[in-house]
Amino acid sequence: MAIWYFCNKLSDVVEYVDAAFGLGDAFGGTLILSVITNLPEIAIAVSGAIQRNYDLVAGNLLGGIALQTMLLIIFDFANKSPHPLSTLISSKAGIFQGISLLIILSLCFIAGIYKETTTPLGAGISVWLVLIVWVSSLFYLKKIQKNSHSKVIPFNTKYTKKTSLWWLAGISVIVLFFGVLLERSSDAITNHFHLSGMFFGATFLAFVTSLPEISSGLEFLKNKDYEPIISDIFGGNGFLPVLFLPASIIANQNIITNVGYSNNFLALLSILLASIFILGMWRKTSKKYAKLGWDNWLMLLIGILGFTILYYISK
């Protein structure tokens, strides 16, 4: 409940910070939301690497991308507009973030297929390339927004520049605290129910650590502020594989190449789900079918099939 409440607040704070500091929805949303809402994943990646629970780390990071992409289905269902969410969200910046995510996921897939022998500081070259692509995408995203109009700060806002930063810091501490608690309980749950670390990390743990994204996304939707939603999902998903870098350095081995075929399957599933929504953003269809766009219906079917297959191959 604490994460839900404070991440509802996060949407208002980020909206103010984007406008007050001239960051813009796409750049500011990606930079701030991708870090803050993924603080539980940061805690799990670092702690899991220390405890050598690499399946849990890979499952939570790559499975988290697949599951968080499927959150767009929830947002589309909750969307009151007659138009699909992909049409409302569609923008040059949003499509660019999606393509950047596909490049990053492709690097993860390649790393899982070809076992890298060169590992600077313990991490494979592909993991370093993921960091380079993510940072480069932020700079290009800022360039895309340069000519767009900045948001006007609401006259009666309850925040100032100083208090908004304090709110960001406070929310970050709360989300990180509960992220650590989640990580501590994960091992006990997997052992008790005899689940593989990969499957648990990609499903139950990925869903619980997605609560910040669900809470803030629904609040953005309520305010009809659509662009931060795609920045949080695609931008945040692009940030998750970056966490393989500190985890691999701590483990002194490339975690992506050492977790088996389930890792490759999750990377492919994430690529497929993201590609479908990007196609929906590009086509901009105007009609929903039973409260969902065609792209989200397809994502739902593929997602259910994909996680069912994961359960059997990760045993």
Rounded Cα distance, 71 and 66, in Å: 9
> Tokens 């109009």 identify what position?
149
Q: What is the pLDDT of residues 103-136, one digit of tens each?
A: 999 998 988 887 776 677 778 888 899 999 999 9
How would residue 156 be classed by pLDDT, with cut points 50, 70 and 90? very low
Query: Region 243-261: what's the mean pLDDT?
Result: 84
CATH number of 2-146+163-313: 1.20.1420.30
Q: Which two tokens stand for residue 144?
A: 């895309």
Give the CA diameter of the chain: 58
57: exposed, middle or buried (Cβ count in 10 Å: 0-12, 13-18, 19+): buried
101: exposed, middle or buried (Cβ count in 10 Å: 0-12, 13-18, 19+): buried
Q: What is the pLDDT of residues 178-236, one digit of tens each?
A: 766 766 666 666 666 666 667 777 888 788 778 778 888 888 888 887 877 888 889 88
